Amino acid sequence: MNLHEYQAKEILRRHGVPIPDGEIATTADAAEALAAKYAVPVMVKAQVHVGGRGKAGGVKYCATPAIAREKAAAILGMDIKGLTVEKVLVTIAEDIGSEAYVGIIVDRATKKPVFMVSAAGGIDIEEVAASTPEKIRYHPVDPRYGLRVFEAMELGFFLYDDVKQARAAARIMQQLYAAFIESGCSLAEINPLVVTPTGKVVAVDGKMVIDDNELERLPAIEALRDDSSEDPSEVDARKANLTFIKLDGNVGCVVNGAGLAMATMDLVKYYGGEPANFLDIGGSSNPEKVVNALRIITADKNVKAILFNIFGGITRTDDVANGIVTATKANPLTVPIVIRLTGTNEELAMKILTENGFSASSDMDEAVQKAVALATGGAK
């Protein structure tokens, strides 16, 4: 789960990270009022879950409250990479002397949280990583000790020569690490970490991605979820305990297991079709999950054929068959459906489907070819 910048900053502030004051506004009036309250130049920043907000015109410097009003009016309602901006962060604009990058991810290779820091921070950090990797220092942290002072200082001196600044950065990195652990992050970053002309070290932007597996035990973090920032069909799927990602093709796929789901999509493509989605109904499926899956998939008007690919292990294929029958009785399908079922209780599932006028096969390759042919109007 992604947090908004303002949410990440609130968490970092609680851990002591120096961050310029800021508050959320949902109207131009409110943005103007905040700018007037701060009585210094502010930044108005779109709060949406995409990178490149600045380049899309969603981040503006505003010298006066009147300008803040004008910019907020322009940014609110703006579409950035398919997402509508509903909130802006109005925050005191810092004078920027230098920009550094400080981030932590959980690294698969070392199996540890790893700090990545660079004195060349800012909006082009990906470019820095790609073209001048020597400007980035990687430092794995032993989670049993956390980021120790001497390690933090080493990273601080990698960023700054000045001992005061190095020390301030080291403190911020320890605070960032504490926030990272306590909030169950898979990624946390400050970019840029700024040194102001007066020598203060402050965090001007913050980002946190929470490991979804942590949310059950962190209700306060779960409460920060913003449904309006996600595709409605994905929100719907999440509430139905399905893993769903919407794509642009026309073959709707319902599969059990992430690996098989990806392999099914690949096979659709192999035979000249385009998958409309990734959808994993998970392990212990019940008919209700199938009903929800069909509802979500049929809501996509691009879908021209539906493909079920179920390999029953824990999943009982008769549960899936019952789900298909129930769902299509309530809402008759307007597009053809191709069903492939094999594994646990396969005979029973086939019987249920045949009795209700469906045909099903047990061969994946055959089923995919058939679904692609139906979706492309039999042209293939």
Partner 1 sequence: MSIFIDNSTTLLIQGITGRDGSFHARQMMEYGTRVVGGVTPGKGGQQFDGTVPIFNTVAQAVAATGANTSVIYVPPPFAADAMMEAAAAGVKLIVCITEGVPVLDMTRVYPYVKEMGARLLGPNCPGLITPGQSKVGIIPGRICKPGPVGVVSRSGTLTYEIVNLLTKAGIGQSTCVGIGGDPINGTNFIDALEAFEADPQTKVVAMMGEIGGTDEQEAAEFVRTRMTKPVVGFIAGQTAPPGRRMGHAGAIISGSAGTAAEKIEAFVAAGMGVAKRPMDFVELVKARL
CB of 371 closer than 8 Å to CB of 305: yes
Q: How far apart are CA 196 and CA 190, in angstroms?
A: 15
Name the minimum Å distance from CB 263 to partner 1. 4
Complex with partner 1: residue 75 or 320, whichever CB lies closer: 320
Q: Is residue 192 reached through a cis peptide bond, with omega within 30 degrees of 0 on the bond before it?
A: yes
The answer to whether residue 109 forms part of the interface with partner 1 (CB under 8 A) is yes
Name the minimum Å distance from CB 337 to partner 1. 20
The answer to whether residue 138 forms part of the interface with partner 1 (CB under 8 A) is no
Q: How far apart are CA 224 and CA 177, in angstroms?
A: 20
Q: How far apart are CA 220 and CA 223, in angstroms?
A: 5
> How many residues are given for the chain?
380
The answer to whether residue 265 forms part of the interface with partner 1 (CB under 8 A) is yes
Q: How far apart are CA 224 and CA 178, in angstroms?
A: 19
Q: How many CB atoms lie within 10 A of CB 87?
A: 21
The answer to whether residue 227 forms part of the interface with partner 1 (CB under 8 A) is no
Q: Is 189 a catalytic residue?
A: yes
Pick one of 26, 27, 186, 326: the residue that binds partner 1 (CB under 8 A): 186
Complex with partner 1: residue 130 or 379, whichever CB lies closer: 130
SS3 per residue for 293-326: HHHHHHCCCCCCEEEEEEEECCCCHHHHHHHHHH
Q: How far apart are CA 17 and CA 21, in angstroms?
A: 12
Complex with partner 1: residue 88 or 303, whichever CB lies closer: 303
The answer to whether residue 365 forms part of the interface with partner 1 (CB under 8 A) is yes
Instruction: Of 111, 86, 379, 26, give the one whose Cα is nearest residue 226.
Output: 86
Tokens for 207, please give them: 């980002």
The answer to whether residue 56 forms part of the interface with partner 1 (CB under 8 A) is no
The answer to whether residue 158 forms part of the interface with partner 1 (CB under 8 A) is no
SS3 per residue for 184-220: CEEEEEEEEEEECCCCCEEECCEEEEECHHHHHHCHH
* Phi, psi dihedrals of residue 160, rounded to the nearest 5°: -135, 145
Pick one of 157, 158, 278, 358: the residue that binds partner 1 (CB under 8 A): 278
Pick one of 198, 213, 223, 332: the residue that binds partner 1 (CB under 8 A): 213
Complex with partner 1: residue 6 or 177, whichever CB lies closer: 177
CB of 105 closer than 8 Å to CB of 187: yes
Name the minimum Å distance from CB 42 to partner 1. 31
Q: How far apart are CA 239 and CA 2, in angstroms?
A: 17
Name the minimum Å distance from CB 236 to partner 1. 16
The answer to whether residue 74 forms part of the interface with partner 1 (CB under 8 A) is no
Residue with tokens 């700054």: 160
The answer to whether residue 232 forms part of the interface with partner 1 (CB under 8 A) is no
The answer to whether residue 233 forms part of the interface with partner 1 (CB under 8 A) is no
Catalytic pick among 32, 99, 151, 189? 189
Catalytic pick among 38, 101, 160, 177? 101
The answer to whether residue 314 forms part of the interface with partner 1 (CB under 8 A) is yes
Name the minimum Å distance from CB 264 to partner 1. 9
Binding site for partner 1 (CB under 8 A): 106, 108-109, 111-113, 126, 129-130, 142-144, 181, 184-186, 211-214, 216-217, 243, 245, 247, 255-263, 265-270, 275, 278, 280, 283-284, 311-315, 342-344, 364-365
Instruction: Report the catalytic residues.
Output: 101, 189
